[in-house]
Amino acid sequence: MAWLGRDTDRWSANGDSRARQASRAEGAETADLLAFDRDHVWHPYRPMPDVNDLLLVTGAEGVRLSLADGREPIDGMSSFWAAVHGYRNPVLDKALADQAVRFAHVMFGGLTHEPAVRLAKTLVELTPGGLEHVFFCDSGTVSVEVALKMCLQYWSAVGRGEKRRILTWRGGYHGATLHSMSVCDPDGGVPALWRGLLPEQVFVPAPPASSYTSLRNSGGPAHAGDEQLDPDYVATLARTVAEHAGELAAIIVEPVVQSAGGMRFHHPGYLRVLRELADAHDILLIFDEMATGFGHTGALFAADHAGVTPDVMCLGKALTGGYMSGAATLCTPRVADGIGRGRPPVLVHGQTFMGNPLVAAVSNASLSLLAGGGWRGEVFRIEKALREGLREAVHLDGVVDVRVLGAIGVIELDRPADPRMAAAALDKGVWLRPFRNLVYCLPPYVCTDDEIAQICSAMVAAAGA
Ligand SMILES: *Cc1c(COP(=O)(O)O)cnc(C)c1O
């Protein structure tokens, strides 16, 4: 590790002691990396300096991570909704390598290129009809910022500048910058720190949990279509939207699955209610499909479960197959035309690396794998295997609910997750990252049935730890 200048003797060793010394040097290198990391490198939502609990990854292939200590756990998280085709996927590797030898980046102001144009065309084709314009962003959070800006600029441009607030339901997560945090659940703890600084948005209660996804239903799951919407909740939505209509620019929600806010699933019918209310009161509708997009819920987009087109849609995470950060915000011609009538008649946003060719090329490869349609069978198979494998968790002590939707499996506990849970999963050969009161998995679509069974038994072990 020349950069730390501490192991020069690794290179001066000779004879048969060399191998032993090399392996000892490797162990020392791991320890040095972890020590420097702990004292200097910030991880998501962690203190500085951190505690000593990080695992050093030295490789990743297929559905497995390689750790410095030799273990090779299955990644039950798909690097957080992203690596749906697995690691070192040959199609994605090749697309990235081919683009890297053409050109890695050019500015998007005044220039364009085939990978970006092709990606935009595919996104317009795949997303619900009516979403025709694409803004490329470098992260999911930025794509939410852009979505909010699109709506705020739209109303300003059409002479309704008083429409500046956003309505959302509780339990949501939309990103980590200040404006995107303003539409996250205000009881989530973190945004409460910023009260008074963030724009004050309009909140309605979280949507009722779907009973059809819960394994607690011993009679077997009903079809989603058989489930009834809660009339009281619908009335609350209608009343709040009507009350604030004059000041509302947009409604933003995560459709069908509220992810970081608690892995809660709701009936897609509530999305149709939101669409009707937005239309009736002249409000724009944003679906943040960062987590739900690209098949996780069993539909290509969660909006497809409801047959609803939002005015604006945010995509990220699995867009690039989990290879790198990349996101996109799509909108309808109504939104784009409205913005074009304003002063200035442009969307006031741009970033240095927007439309990056490597991101676009690997996203095109990821979408080409999805376009083959095989994902549907894979997600259906995973859903079945998760339902089977997690059924026993229903009867565990301290388990509040067990639910499965598409390639998402959740065990909800009556207590907060603690580090022993991830350790118990790792002992079973699976990388999980329990949070809040949840042990959950988002397996890569390329997992075999045996690998799903292993993930399930690791989840059960974690929940019992
Ligand atoms: C992950 C996520 C984001 C933020 O995306 P980043 O790439 O982490 O900035 C926003 N909304 C939802 C629903 C997400 O799941």
Q: What CATH code is carried by the domain that includes residue 385? A: 3.90.1150.10
Half-sphere exposure of 40 (CA within 13 A, CB side): 6
Nearest Cα residue to atom 7 of ligand 1: 140
Give the integer Cα–Cα distance in Å for 194 and 150: 24
Which of 444, 453, 427, 447 is closest to 462 using CA atoms? 427
| pLDDT tens per residue across span 233-285 | 999 999 999 999 999 999 999 999 999 989 999 999 999 999 999 999 999 99
Side by side, the strands of the sheet bearing 438-441 are: 399-405, 408-413, 438-441
In 112-254, DSSP assigns E strands to 133-137, 165-169, 202-204, 248-253
Tell which atom from ligand 1 comes closest to the C-alpha of 180: 10
Closest among 254, 211, 250, 246 to 229, alpha carbons compared: 211
Per-residue confidence (pLDDT) for residue 191, from 0 to 100: 58
Q: What pLDDT sits at residue 380?
A: 97
Q: Quick one: 102 and 222 in the same domain?
A: yes
Per-residue confidence (pLDDT) for residue 220, from 0 to 100: 54
Whose structure tokens read 């995973």?
382
Assign 313 to helix, strand or coil. strand
Q: Does residue 143 sit in helix, strand or coil?
A: helix
d(CA 68, CA 65): 10
Helix 419-427 to helix 449-464 angle (10° resolution) is 140
Start-end of H helices in 351-392: 357-371, 374-390
Asked if residue 279 and residue 416 are part of one domain, the reply reads no
Tokens of 385: 């295997």
- 80 within some domain: yes
CA distance 57 to 165: 43
Residue 1 lies in a domain: no
- CATH code of residue 320: 3.40.640.10
Both 56 and 164 in one domain: the answer is no
Considering the domain architecture, whether residues 360 and 390 belong to the same structural domain is answered as no
Query: Containing domain of residue 431, as a range?
Result: 37-87+374-463
β-pair partners for 286: 252, 312
Q: In this structure, are 261 and 327 located in the same domain?
A: yes
Å from CA of 161 to ligand 1 middle: 28
Per-residue confidence (pLDDT) for residue 192, from 0 to 100 = 67
Which protein residues are within 6 Å of ligand 1, measured from CB?
139-141, 144, 173-175, 254, 259-260, 288, 290-291, 316-317
C-alpha distances (whole Å) from 191 to each of 184, 196, 198 are 7, 10, 8
Q: Evaluate whether residue 12 is within a structural domain.
A: no
> Residue whose CA is closest, atom 15 of ligand 1?
291
Distance 114 CA to ligand 1 centre (A): 27
Of 352, 371, 390, at which residue does a domain stop? Answer: 371
- Listed residues 353, 371, 389: the one ending a domain: 371
- Look at residue 381 and tell me if it is in a domain: yes
- Write the CB contacts of 365 (distance below 8 Å, at least 6 apart in sequence): 91, 92, 94, 95, 96, 321
- Known catalytic residues are 45, 173, 288, 317
Tell me which amino acid residue 79 is.
S
Give a yes or no: residue 10 inside a domain.
Answer: no
Q: Is 62 in the same domain as 115?
A: no
| Residue 76 belongs to some domain of the structure | yes
Strand arrangement, sheet containing 74-75: 57-61, 64-67, 74-75, 430-431
Q: Are residues 104 and 203 in the same domain?
A: yes
pLDDT of residue 216: 85
Closest C-alpha to 321, from 376, 287, 359: 359
Enter the tokens of residue 316: 């990220």
Mutate to test the pocket of ligand 1, among 45, 78, 146, 174 (most ligand atoms within 8 A of CB): 174
Q: Quick check: helix, strand or coil at residue 283?
A: coil
Output phi, psi for 67, to 5 deg: -100, 155
The answer to whether 256 touches 405, Cβ cutoff 8 Å, is yes
**Is the same domain home to 343 and 450?**
no
> Closest Cα to atom 11, ligand 1: which residue?
174
- Give me the pLDDT at residue 190, please: 56
| Model confidence, pTM | 0.94
Question: How far is the centre of ligand 1, averaged over its atoms, from the C-alpha of 138 (Å)?
Answer: 11
Residues 141 and 227 in one domain: yes
By DSSP bridging, strand 399-405 and strand 264-265 are unpaired
What number of other Cβ atoms are within 10 A of residue 194's Cβ?
A: 12
Mark whether 177 and 298 lie in a shared domain.
Answer: yes
* Substitution candidate for ligand 1 out of 146, 173, 359 with most atoms within 8 A of CB: 173
CA 260 to ligand 1 center in whole angstroms: 9
* Contact assessment for residue 188 and residue 156, using Cβ atoms and an 8 Å cutoff: no
* Owner of token pair 């992260």: 139
Q: Does a structural domain hold residue 161? A: yes
Domain termination residue (choose one: 371, 401, 430): 371
| Number of domains, the chain | 2
In a domain, 31, yes or no: no
Short-list 434, 296, 266, CA closest to 370: 296
- Token pair 């069978």 is found at 377
Distance from C-alpha of 128 to C-alpha of 149, rounded to nearest angstrom: 21
Mean pLDDT taken over the chain: 93
Which pLDDT score is estimated for 8? 40
What the block records as the tokens of 229 is 């919407």
Please provide residue 394's backbone torsions phi and psi, each rounded to the nearest 5 degrees. Answer: -55, -35
DSSP secondary structure letters along 49-79: S--S----EEEEEBTEEEETTS---EETTHH
- Do 316 and 381 lie in one domain? The reply is no
Same domain, 304 and 397: no
Report the first-to-last Cα separation within the chain, whole angstroms. Answer: 37
pLDDT in the model for residue 217: 78
Where the chain has pLDDT below 50, the residues are 1-13, 15
Strand, helix or coil for residue 421: helix
